[in-house]
Amino acid sequence: MRIALSVMDQVWENKQANLTICNELVESAVKLRADILVLPEMTLTGFTLNIPDVAEETNASESMKSFSDMASRHNLCVIAGVVLKDRDRFQNCSLAYGRNGELLCRYGKVHPFSPAGEGRYITAGEKLSTFEFEGLKFGLTICYDLRFPLLWQAMADQCECIINIANWPARRIDHWRTLLKARAIENQVYIIGVNRIGLDGNNLEYAESSIAFAPDGSEVNYIASGEGLRVIEIEKGMVKECQDAFPVRNDRRHVLYNEFLKGSVKS
C-alpha cells in the first residue's frame, strides 16, 4: 500500500488558502499512485487556540465536506485534521475518508497540549479510533499523544499502522523522531508521523520531518516524491513477520502494570 505523507506549509487560519494547497497535494498524490494521503493536524488552520473562531459544527462542517469530496473525486483515502463542535464541546479531530468519500474514522485528541493551554478549549477524547482500509488496520493519534506510550500500546493491539498528524515545532524535533521510532520498536507496528513545515501565526518554526518507521524500528525509505509529498510503501506481512520473529509483546503484563499505575495515582 502506498501512502503519501504531506510536507505542508499551512497558511495561518486561512481555510480557503489551505484547501487550495490540499487540492494540489491530492492531485499530486494521485499522480504518484498513492492509496492514502495524510495531511497535518488542524489541516486548514494550523495549530491555533482561536478555537471558537475556527471550529465547525459536526453536522454542518464545510471542511468535512471538502475532505470527503476530495477523497471521492480522486478515489483515495484522505486523512486530515479539523476542530469540530458538538453542542458546547470542542474536539481536535483526525478524520479518515474512504475512496467513496465515506467517513471511516473520527478520532478526538486524547491528550490536548496542556503546555500551550489547549485543554482550556478542547475537550479530551476518551476513545481509541481505528479503521480498516483495503486489508490493513489503522489507528489515528494527534501530535502530543505521541508522548503517552500506553495509548499506543492499546491501539497497537487493534491495528498494524498508527498515524500521528501533528504541528510539532522544530525546537523539539529530536523528540519527534525519537518518540516515533520508539513507538514502532516497542509496539512492532508501522508508525507514521506527518508534520507541517514553515512558520505559524505564533512565529513558531517547523522543520520538514514527515517520516515513517517499520515494525522493526527501521526508517521506511521514500519510493517517490513530489511537491509537498513523500510517498512510502507498507506491507501487512512485515508486521506479522516482525511480531512472530521477536514476540516481545507476549510478555507484557498489563494487569500488573495497571496495579503499578493505581499505586502511582494514590501516592
* pLDDT tens sequence across 115-159: 999 999 999 999 999 999 999 999 999 999 999 999 999 999 999
pLDDT value of residue 29: 98
Q: For the domain 2-266, what is the CATH superfamily, name and number?
A: Carbon-nitrogen hydrolase (3.60.110.10)
Whether 29 and 37 have beta carbons less than 8 Å apart is answered as yes
Q: What is the mean pLDDT of the chain?
A: 97
- Residue 81's Cβ-count burial label (10 Å; 0-12, 13-18, 19+) is buried
pLDDT value of residue 264: 76
Q: Collect the ranges in the chain with pLDDT lower than 70.
A: 265-267
pLDDT value of residue 265: 65
Task: Find the DSSP H helices in the chain.
Answer: 15-31, 51-54, 62-74, 149-156, 173-187, 236-245, 254-266
Residue reference for cell 488552520: 45
Whether 160 and 137 have beta carbons less than 8 Å apart is answered as yes
pLDDT value of residue 69: 98
pTM for this predicted structure: 0.97
pLDDT value of residue 267: 46
